[in-house]
Amino acid sequence: MVKRKNLLDYYMLAIVAIGIITFATLPSIIGSINYREIDRNVHGYYDALMSQDYEKAYSYVLLYDRGVDMGPEYIYEEGKAIYISRMNKLTQEKGYKVLNASINPEKDSHGQLRYRVELEILIDGEKRKYNEWVKIANMKLYIGSEDIYAPLRDGRMEVRKSYHIEKNGTTGKFVYA
């Protein structure tokens, strides 16, 4: 009887140990799955921009009007039509094309994952370089950028009808509506 009790104690100890290990590692396993999906979304967005597949690019961005915490007033399909129209017009009128995107994951000052992206963009036949910062909200991309045309492609739905550009002493006007 003593041997049988010792054997049961070992089984219970093994079950408890397996439970503790599972409980301790499960969040990191789930987290790594999310990080892979986030990474795919970030790369997918910039790949879609480079191939000028604006419908696909739209599927990755966080849609908002006045603030990130307030969703857009448009339904998904209306927002998609606006986004694609803006990007097609920008491409036709300014020759806007993302040529290259160097994507680097990093942690911000709060330890949150974000991406630093170095873009090479063709605008009016001239290659320009800009930096962007991408954060994730609800598995969608929230983008901050030096690119003066980023508000037309970053998921922001409420952009002034007349979009004035002032950069390096030159003034241009781009009307997307």
Domains in the chain, CATH or no CATH each: 2-175 (3.10.450)
Q: What does the block give as tokens for 51?
A: 């191939």
Count CB-CB contacts under 10 A for residue 51: 12
pLDDT the model gives residue 123: 94
Residue 104's alpha-carbon distances to 43, 107, 117, 151, 164, in angstroms, are 10, 10, 6, 21, 31
Where does residue 56 rank: exposed (0-12), middle (13-18), buried (19+ CB within 10 A)? middle
Give the whole-angstrom CA distance, residue 131 versus residue 146. 6
pLDDT the model gives residue 4: 61
pLDDT the model gives residue 28: 52
Give the whole-angstrom CA distance, residue 116 versus residue 107. 10
E runs forming strands in 32-125: 97-107, 113-123
Supply φ then ψ for residue 123, to 5 degrees: -135, 125
Nearest to residue 114, comparing CAs of 38, 166, 50, 63? 38
User: Rounded mean pLDDT of the chain?
Assistant: 80
- The pTM score is 0.71
| Structure confidence by residue, pLDDT tens digits, 85-138 | 999 999 999 999 999 999 999 988 888 889 999 999 999 999 999 999 999 888
Where does residue 60 rank: exposed (0-12), middle (13-18), buried (19+ CB within 10 A)? buried
Percent of residues, the chain, with pLDDT higher than 70:
73
Q: Are 112 and 135 in contact (CB under 8 A)?
A: yes
Amino acid identity of residue 9, one-letter, is: D
pLDDT the model gives residue 95: 95
Amino acid identity of residue 111, one-letter, is: G
